[in-house]
């Protein structure tokens, strides 16, 4: 396993890291013992960064993760979670709620310190609230010794620029972007230089584009446009017909850029986390990569609307 420093936080985190949303049964019903075994397997394999949120499984993921963390030494992992998103359409980024949320998360996860606290999916609210209310509350939590570092998450890349261009230097130490650097969407690459120059760590989540690039395919709630889902399914079929594993190519592609500090992959299956770590030992099959990219070319970088109209990336329109 390779380790890179997350921005200027001093945290040297694994190139592949563990996304705990699966523990909340967001992709399938997950037996608790299997979920907990996956966390232990991840740590055994050298993964030292775990990301969660109260939103995943509506507190279930944090609760299950907490049962696993109870048995692990606190210095075996860096722990990230989030504040502000509590249900599909329930957001509260007020200072009071996010301060309370940190306490609730610590209790569920059986820890008394969170290494990285992140604002979850900020595109759903007016970003000036994040700047003027949420971030100051998180800074206060940092000063109180409850959290180590502060990050922001979301889908449109515009929201990262809005915050990073306005917040005082050093307040926001990482961005967590999802589904924007994977085989079908390379948009995040355009931001690598800017974020690195600002000393902001880059966490790239969802190498399979939240299941699009898996043999099981997209879950029924997947928000991607139909043509993206279909093109990804075609790639899955192609790679399968060659006797290869689509997740291998997807993980290798997402982890490849040096600018990305860490790529978060989610699974609640110990065998899959083992495979995912093993995938990093080999280079991408260039022929399969070229064939996959050729299929995906017509839908490359196509994303979907998420959040308020004012927070979308150029060209993305909120409907309904």
Burial class (CB in 10 A: 0-12, 13-18, 19+), 260: buried
**43 vs 18: CA distance, rounded Å:** 9
Measured distance CA(108)–CA(86) in Å, rounded: 14
Q: Lay out the site mask for ligand NAD across 81-120 (x = CB under 6 A, - = otherwise).
A: ---------------------------------------x
214 binding ligand NAD? (CB under 6 A): yes
Q: How far is the CB of 315 from ligand NAD (least distance, A)?
A: 21
CA 121 – CA 176 distance, rounded (Å):
10
Is 78 designated active site?
A: no
Q: Which of 40, 56, 181, 195 is catalytic?
A: 56
Cβ(106)–Cβ(144) under 8 Å?
no
Q: Which of residues 265, 295, 299, 305 is near ligand NAD by CB under 6 A? A: 265
207, 253 in Cβ contact below 8 A?
yes
d(CA 40, CA 233): 31
Is residue 299 a contact residue for ligand NAD (CB under 6 A)? no
Beta-bridge partner residues of 82: 118
Interface residue with ligand NAD among 66, 266, 270, 307 (CB under 6 A) is 266
Query: Between residues 183 and 295, which has the closer beta carbon with respect to ligand NAD?
Result: 183
**Inter-residue contact 150 to 171 (CB < 8 Å):** yes
Closer Cβ to ligand NAD, 214 or 312, answer by number: 214
Strands 114-119 and 78-83 turn out to be: parallel
Which among 31-39, 66-74, 205-213, 227-235 is the span making contact with ligand NAD, rule CB under 6 A? 205-213
For residue 21, state whether it binds ligand NAD (rule: CB under 6 A).
Answer: yes
Contacts with ligand NAD in 130-159 (CB under 6 A)? 153
Binding site for ligand NAD (CB under 6 A): 19-22, 27, 51, 120-121, 153, 176, 178, 205-211, 214, 247, 264-267, 272, 275-276
| Residue positions annotated with a catalytic role | 56
């Amino acid at each position: 396993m390779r380790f890179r420093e997350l921005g200027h936080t001093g945290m040297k985190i694994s190139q592949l890291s563990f996304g705990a949303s699966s523990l909340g049964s967001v992709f399938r019903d997950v037996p608790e013992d299997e979920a907990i075994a996956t966390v232990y397997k991840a740590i055994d394999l050298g993964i030292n960064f775990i990301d969660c949120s109260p939103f995943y499984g509506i507190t279930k993921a944090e609760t299950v993760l907490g049962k696993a963390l109870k048995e692990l030494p606190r210095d075996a992992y860096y722990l990230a979670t989030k504040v502000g998103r509590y249900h599909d359409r329930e957001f509260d980024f007020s200072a009071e709620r996010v301060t309370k949320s940190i306490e609730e998360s610590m209790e569920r996860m059986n820890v008394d310190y969170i290494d990285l606290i992140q604002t979850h999916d900020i595109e759903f609210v007016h970003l000036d609230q994040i700047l003027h209310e949420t971030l100051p509350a998180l800074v206060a939590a940092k000063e109180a010794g409850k959290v180590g570092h502060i990050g922001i998450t979301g889908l449109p890349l515009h929201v990262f620029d809005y915050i990073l261009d306005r917040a005082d230097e050093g307040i926001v130490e990482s961005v967590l972007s999802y589904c924007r650097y994977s085989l079908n969407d390379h948009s995040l690459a355009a931001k690598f230089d800017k974020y690195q120059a600002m000393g902001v760590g880059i966490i790239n989540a969802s190498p399979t584009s939240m299941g699009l690039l898996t043999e099981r395919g997209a879950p029924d709630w997947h928000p991607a446009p139909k043509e993206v889902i279909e093109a990804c399914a075609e790639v899955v079929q192609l790679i399968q017909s060659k006797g290869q594993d689509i997740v291998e190519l997807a993980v290798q592609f997402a982890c490849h850029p040096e600018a990305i500090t860490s790529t978060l992959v989610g699974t609640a299956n110990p065998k899959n986390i083992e495979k995912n770590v093993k995938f990093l030992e080999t280079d991408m099959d260039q022929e399969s990569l070229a064939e996959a990219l050729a299929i995906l070319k017509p839908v490359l970088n196509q994303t979907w609307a998420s959040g308020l109209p004012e927070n979308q990336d150029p060209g993305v329109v909120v409907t309904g």
